Structures are given as structure tokens and as C-alpha cells.
Structure 1
Amino acid sequence: MSETQDFEDLPPEKLPLDQWHRDHGARMVPFAGYEMPIQYEGIKAEHEWTRSKAGLFDVSHMGQLIVSGDGAGAALEAILPASLASLKPGHIRYSLLLNESGGILDDLMVTNSSRDGVEAFTLVVNGAMKWDDIGWLREHLPDDITMNHLADSALLALQGPEAAAALERVIPGCTDDLYFMQSTQAEWNGVEVGIARSGYTGEDGFEISLPASHAAKLADALLEIDSVKPAGLGARDSLRLEAGLPLYGHDLTEETDPVSAGLGFALTKSRRESGGFIGHDACMARLAMDGSAQVRVGLTLEGRLPAREGATVHCGDAMIGTVTSGGFSPTLGHPIAMAYIDSEHAEIGTQLSIEVRGRSLPATVTSLPFVPHNYARKGA
């Protein structure tokens, strides 16, 4: 998940850990309305460290919302295509905000955070879209459903194969019986901490929500562990690209739909049948067409020159699509990209080309993810 709005006319906000990032040598850049750390030691080094050890990312620009009250799940099901009636407390589901035409307004994570008899769901939405999302939700939620924006909370992402061991040392017992797409609550340093076993790097990891006033202390405690280093926005982007995960505002926009984006799994079977969510009719019509004119695919390139967003994809002399995300893969050692191309050319192994700086670069349609996911799934 990520960002699309234009914040050029507004001064960037500061993250709760702004000074912490600067003290640790981060290079800060404007992103999604915030000053964000793009790198510390270097994007490639942070990428490789996260793949082998544990990278600590600050994703506090994301919007954290709690929707609560009797009937909160049913109210959200009138908006989201996710089946929340079957979502157990402490479990997480990926979902989408759609418009009536089935266009994607944002992608998000929704957690059943009900407890003590109070029905509640926590939504994590993209940073640049959160104010639009809040407005959309307020417009479509019933008046008796409460929505709170956790504006004073920070969100840290600890990602990598040694993330669980590191977090366990700082908050003992917090990872017990916690698997991918599950969450729990723990107490640390006198405050309640929300811990979700999720992330957007393709690696095992955790997203940790806590009061912003305590974020620096937790970051310091994690960095005392040898396996943990800070990682910036650059490595987060290269990791999610290798994992084949779409980026909002680039691979996902209001002009794309779940079917063409390869996100049909977010339209759960029961909701396809029952309907009742915004965009249902449009999505069902697209599914009835047995596909889309264009679909999101992975592409591998030869050589070292990467294809960036906006590069055109060709089959012979015909332009058949456009790159939406691309870069050099540190793990694979060659460039990779995601693109929307005409579905008739989307079969794995199809040979195409991409125009980059006046050159025609050979490219091959490849299955996603580029690098296998390393999630801690129950029963795996």
C-alpha cells in the first residue's frame, strides 16, 4: 500500500520519530505529505539486511482508524468487499475501498479488534489517502457507528527472518501462537501495544502500533539487538516490488479494478454471492466478462538498466501496456517491473520489450511474486 495525492502545496508534516531518524543518519525526503527517511546506510544494504536479518521501518504516516459500535462489522461490509462476519477477533484481512464503478480508491488492512463485548475493527489505510478515506467512510457509515482516527499513535514495521526473535526479546511472549495475518495486544513500558504479524516486504514481520510518545523508546530498544537495523522508504519499496505487492497510486488507482489488478481474492466468495458492498455490480460484471482487457503482470528484464513507471511495453511494433512499478532487484541481480498489459499477451513466458531511454529492452512475462514470500503461516 502507498500514496498518490499531491502535497506540493502543503509543508510536509514530521513523523513522531523525525528527530530519531535524523540522529541515526537518515536522508529525509518529502513523501505522502510527510518528511520520510528514504535511507540510512544505503537502499541496497538495507534491502539485503531485511532479507537476511531484521529491518526497522517507520510507517507512522499510514492512517490508523478504529470503527466501533454494535453492527460495526455489518456497516463495514456495506462498504468493503471483505467478509467480516467470518473474521475472528485478532485476525486480519486485506481489503479495498471501491467506488460504484469498481475503481480502487485505496487498499487497506482490516483487523477484528473486538473485545470486552465491544464490536470494533481497526483499519490501516495509506498515508496520502487517509483523509479521503476518512471522508468516504464517514459519508457511508451509519451515524450510530463510531470512527476514531488514532492521530497520536505511531506505527513501526519490524521485518525480516529474525524479526520474531528480536521482538520477543523486547516484548516477551508477544509472538506466542501469533501467525501471519493475526494480531494481539501486549503491554510494554506501561503502555498498550498493538502487534500485527504482517507487513509489506514479503518477509515475516510485525507492524507495531503504540502511542507516539513511546515510539523512540521502542525503536531504541529494538536497535540494541544486533540483528536489527533501521531501514528506509527506498528498501521498503524494492522489497515490496520483489514481493509482487501493488503500490497504491502506481499499480492501483481509481482507474484500476480488482480483477485487472489481480486482486480477485479480496472479493471473497461469500460477498460475491451476497453483494451489498459498494462496487459489487461493477466487479461482478467484470468477472462475468471472464477477465479484463488489461491485467497486471510481472516482467523480468535483461541487463542492468531498470524500467521505471511510465515506460511503454511492446509486442513487436504494437504498444500493449505501461509499466507501473519497476527497479533493479538486489535479490535477483537484474531489473524487474510490474505493468498492465493487454491480457492476450499475459501468458507466463511471453517475450515482450520495454522502451527505456530510447532503447528497446527485452522483457519476459513472469509469475508473481518475483521472490517467494516468507510469511509465518499457521501449519506451514
Structure 2
Amino acid sequence: MLDIHKIRADFPILNREVNGHPLVYFDNAATSQKPQQVIDKITEYYTLYNANIHRGVHALSQEATDLFEASREKCRAFFNIPEARQCIFTSGNTHSINAVASGAHVFVKKDDEVIVSAVEHHSNIVPWQMLCERVGAQLKVIPVLDNGKLDMDAYHDLLNDKTAFVVVNHISNALGVTNPVKEIIDAAHEVNAKVLVDGAQSCGHMKVDVQALDVDFYTMAGHKMCGPTGIGLLYGKEDALNELPPYQGGGEMIDQVTFEATTYAGLPHKFEAGTPNIAGGIALGAAVDYLNEVGMENIASYENELLEYGTEQLKKIDGLQIYGDVKEKAAVISFNVAQIHPYDIGTIVDKLGIAVRTGHHCAQPVMDRYQIAGTIRASFAFYNTKEEIDIMVQALQRAVMMLS
């Protein structure tokens, strides 16, 4: 059982008001809030340790390096990554995906096929379109069923000896539906295809074990798991990372540089050109510590409780339709009410202090699938409460009455 009052006390932003009302923050799928422990770690770094890492012999540089690499080890353990060198720090989930897609020509050749799902975020569509254009490959799409689940029969039919890469999100940011990634990975490996799983929506809400999944690449967003913005993670199997060319050139990622030729550093530095987000990396370690203290199983269980309660209460609103109303999902509810535009409802509930997301959620093909302009998305975290859900439902009822 979680002590919600104690947890909420760790998040200072939850004490503020918006438009004269206590903040109800239900936009966690866009970014999570940060506990004081993470905020303090950023301040501590710049106050006591600020120095560039890996390159200096002086005390500050060595201390900062030790803190940064200790954070890498925390992330390695959190996701059950085999070796710390397979845990690549990036600027975020989008950077992680692009780092793989930019060099995936070593895996994808002319006339090969890349499979994506119909529920992907734009950041897991566009880089693969760009890859296919560069190498002359074809992009294939796993359809989505009316209930928001992927059409797995269609997926298995798509797989063939031309399939070189499969990319899919673990949890849909637009619908909240949890995809059967283990089945997707195993089937792809049967045809010798590589798999990348976008873990932006899963990394702070469920226990992720990359070895149990047997995934080739897995991407994570620090700011969606109580860490700061500007920091992310890329995991890859070691042989795949060794084969993948570096995404950026510069300092840190080199072994030897001459005007005739350059050789690259080993993992993880091969993919970490330039000065990294040192404070962000160290603070991400503090976020991992915090999540471990709360317990990922506790988080997943409580957020599922919020999902069930929120779904039940929202369904009491006349004309409300939920997209992705299935059992296998995260604490994300994407919905519309009658023919009212989601933006109009979102604007009114914001005046009442409630933060929800409206629009296509950077997943326009999902909205096209349902022939809608967008949805209202309420996404919960372990620091939210059922009482806040009640406040949101009352605000939605008020908005519907005003707009009907």
C-alpha cells in the first residue's frame, strides 16, 4: 500500500494553484512531475560538483564523473541491462530512436521491409520513413482494431524474409493500450528481424526487463519517469550496438582522430558525443532511486486502481466515448464527449485548475483511424488520487453543460 499523502508531499508542484484552484495534474503521459529529491540533486550538482566529466584529472571532474557513471549503473540495474556500457545516455526518447534509425542502414537494405504499428508516436514513425527513403526499403503498418489493440493476425501475416526491422511502442501514448511486445519480438526474431521498442510510456509505470523481453533496442524518456527533461536512455544488445554506426561526431566518441581517418571509442561513449546533460544524468539516477523506494509493483498496482476508478466514473457522463477501452492498458484514458471539440473542453477544465492534454497527441494516424480530430487525454501517476478524478469528472460535466 502506498502512503499517498507522504508521496504527494515529495512533489512541490502539487501544492500550487492554477486559476485560483488547486492543481489537478492529469498530463503525466506528456511529462511526469519531479520529486524534491530529484530537484535537490540538480541543485547539488551545480552547487558542489559542476565540472565536465571523463576528461579531467582534477577533483571536481573526477567527482562528477563518478556521480554520472553511478547513475548509469542505477539505470542499468533498473531495466536489467546486462552491462553498463549498453546503457547509452541520450537527450530523450526521440534522440534514442533517431540514434538507431539513422544508422539502421546496416540492418535494412534496398527492398527490405520495416514494420511499424498504426499506434506509434510521430517520433517512432518519421525516422523510419526517412530510413526507408534513404535505402529504398518499404514501410509496412500493423493495423489497429476498433478497440485499440493491434491486429496481431495481420502482424504475423506481414512478417516474411524481407522483414529487416520491427518498431513498436510498449504502451500507446494516444490510447494507453499496452501492446504484446514479447509476442511481437519473438515473432520478428523468427524471421531474423531486429526490434526496437519505444518505452517512453512504460518506463516509469511498470517494471521493464530488457533481457526478459529479448529486445534488440529499447528506448526510455527520463522526464516521463520523474527525472528531468533533456535526458533519456537507449539500450541495445551489445552486438547490435557495435554494428550500429555513431549518430553524431565530436568529442568523447572518438578513439583516435587524424585528418586521414578517425576511429571511434567503445561503448557507451561511441554514442555520447560532446558534453552530455551531466546534471540531468545524475538526477535521473535520483529518480530511479525514488521509483525503487516507492516500488514499481506498487506503482503499477495503484495506477491500475486509478485507471479502473477513472474509467468507471467517466462512463457516467452521457455521450462520452473512450478510445482504447481494453483490459491491457496503462493509466491513460483517451476520450471525447458527444460532438464537442476536445480543445473546448480542455480549455474550460483548465480554468478550473485541471491539466489534461487535448489534440492528436503526436499520433495523427491514430486519430485518422477513428476519423476524429483528436481526443481529451487524462493520464494518471502514482501521486494522483481518486478525489482528483472526482474533481475532473465534475469539471467535465460542467464543461459539457456549458458547451451543449
Q: Same fold (TM over 0.5)?
A: no
Q: Kindly indicate which of the two structures has a greater share of residues assigned to helix.
A: 2
Could you say which structure has the larger radius of gyration?
2
With normalisation by structure 1, the TM-score equals 0.30
Higher share in strand: 1
Give TM-score scaled by structure 2 length: 0.29
